[in-house]
Amino acid sequence: MKPVETELSACIRRMVEMYFQHLEGERCSALHDLVIHSVEKPLLEVVLAHCAQNQTRAAELLGLNRTTLRKKMQRYQLL
């Protein structure tokens, strides 16, 4: 059975397709890193706000270890 595309995955698909259109034939590299870094910071910000900055709860919601969450928060200057 084919998985149903979520609104989130459909949005990301559209944005990556638009990214390729805007390249107008130019080469790109490290697309995976670009997408992850573009999505990860706002994801952390929204989840932390939803959890009232409770890092333990945010880590649980994200399915991350709290230490991993803190490392990501440091990377994005969210501490």
Do 58 and 48 contact (CB within 8 A), yes or no?
Answer: yes
Q: How confident is the model at residue 1 (pLDDT cuts 50, 70, 90)?
A: low
pLDDT (tens digit per residue) in 15-52:
999 999 999 888 988 999 999 999 999 999 999 999 99
The domains of the chain, with CATH numbers, are 30-79 (1.10.10.60)
**∠ CA 12-29-9 to the nearest 5 degrees?**
10
**∠ CA 19-21-24 to the nearest 5 degrees?**
110
Residue 76 pLDDT > 70: yes
Q: What is the pTM of this model?
A: 0.80
Integer CA distances (angstroms), 31 to 20, 22, 27, 34, 68, in order = 10, 14, 11, 5, 23
Q: How confident is the model at residue 3 (pLDDT cuts 50, 70, 90)?
A: low
